Copies of this chain bind each other. A is one copy, B any other.
Amino acid sequence: MTGRTFDDAFRADFENLIKWRRDVRRFRSDSVDPELIDHLLKLADLAPSVGLSQPWRFVPVVEEQVRKKIVASYERCNAQALGGYEAGDAKLYAQLKLEGLREAPLQFAVFCDETTDKGKGLGSQTMPETLRYSVVTAAHTFWLAARAYALGVGWVSILEPEVVRSALAVPDKWTLVAYLCVGYPQEEHIDPELERAGWEKRK
């Protein structure tokens, strides 16, 4: 029964963890100990899931040619997003660094297996989207745990899910939920980077 209560010192550190969990886009090229990654993935497995379905599937994105397809997808989506902003916003948007897809030593596409039998559908019949929400809590747990080990994570959402699915040849019924870049960050920020603060202040 140890470990189930938490003191003020832990709470203060936990709040710092929440504050320092930034979305990282600038990574160092240092490799990451595979045992540490295994440990983080095991912690992610403890995330809440509807009916204990644990539908998350973390697929490492390793091959150069797969990564190139991901970058190309990002570039298509980002050009389209840029085209949707008016001149002033577009200029600022174009300056933002929104992802670390070329630098991050480790990358994971995180899918939801919509067909899992685990949990036998308990709790997810009225709101089937809770299966995908369960995958989000696993990605978020991974992110927080990574930060506790000084790793940075960036979640890239400017991607075509179908392209990612097809580049990795995963089953049809796996939905892309998150794409995570992982590595040691080049810099530490508690606030959004300067160029981004400009974007956020602009009305």
Contact = CB atoms under 8 A, between A and B. Distances in A.
B3 A18 contact: no
A77 B132 CA distance: 20
B11 A6 contact: no
A195 interface: no
A123 interface: yes
Interface string A129-147: 1101100110011011101
B21 A140 contact: no
Contact of A93 (B23, B122, B140, B143): B122
Number of copies of this chain in the oligomer? Answer: 2
B15 A43 contact: yes
Contacts of A140: 47-48, 136-137, 140-141
Given A21-B48, A48-B23, A188-B4, A123 B15 contact: no
Contact of A20 (B3, B84, B89, B132): B3
Contact of A123 (B13, B141, B148, B158): B158
A202 to B, nearest CB: 8
A52 B200 contact: yes
A137 to B, nearest CB: 5
A62 interface: no
Which 10 pairs of residues, A with B, have the shortest CB-CB distance? A3-B16, A136-B136, A130-B157, A77-B126, A133-B136, A6-B148, A137-B140, A10-B13, A127-B157, A4-B20
